Structure 1
Amino acid sequence: MAQKKTGAFDIRIVIAALVGIYGVVLTILGLVEKQAEIDKAAGININLWGGIGMLLFTALFVLWARLRPIVVPVEDTSAGK
């Protein structure tokens, strides 16, 4: 029986893309945040750290999907003819 990789239809890639988009947005917001807003969060730039965390999560998910792709068995229909 032959095997085929799922490629772009792997759910891990879809999840990584969504989290990555939010991570980029939060990172940009964290970089342009005013000091008054940072002071409200006990001096921690939550948007920046949250965005970096999401980008790291995205990188790990993409790496996982590339190193361990989902393999689907494919039936060979031409063998029976």
Structure 2
Amino acid sequence: MAEQQQKKKAGAFDIRVVIALLIAIYGLVLTILGIIANPAEVDKADGININLWGGIAMLVFAALFVLWARLRPIVVPVQEQ
């Protein structure tokens, strides 16, 4: 009789979730800095609010990482002791 091996998801210990959290924190900081930016600083970058757009891009990237971790979780076998 073939024994079925129990499997468990990595969950919060998945490195993709940790990376997404760090990128999301930096993205949130950049987005806030972009929202409260001085108009003189925005003019230096040819009128493009780089902090705002960079922060939004980082937040989207972090969301994609979390989505990837949820759709394709890492499954590890459970060892019996």
1:75 Cα offset (Å): 2.5
Q: Map residues 62-81 of structure 1 onto 2, 5 A cutoff.
A: 62-77=66-81
Could you list the runs of 5+ residues in structure 2 that have no partner in the other structure? none
Distance in 1 (CA, whole Å) between partners of 2:19 and 2:80 is: 31
Could you list the runs of 5+ residues in structure 1 that have no partner in the other structure? none
DSSP 3-state at the match of 1:14: helix
* Number of aligned positions between the proteins: 77
CA shift digits 1:38-80 (9 cap, x unpaired) = 0111111000000000000011001111111000012334xxx
Structure having the higher helix fraction is 1
Determine what percentage of the aligned residue pairs are the same residue. 71
Matched, 1:6 2:13: no
CA shift digits 1:4-28 (9 cap, x unpaired) = 1001100000000000000000000
TM-score, normalised to structure 1's length?
A: 0.91
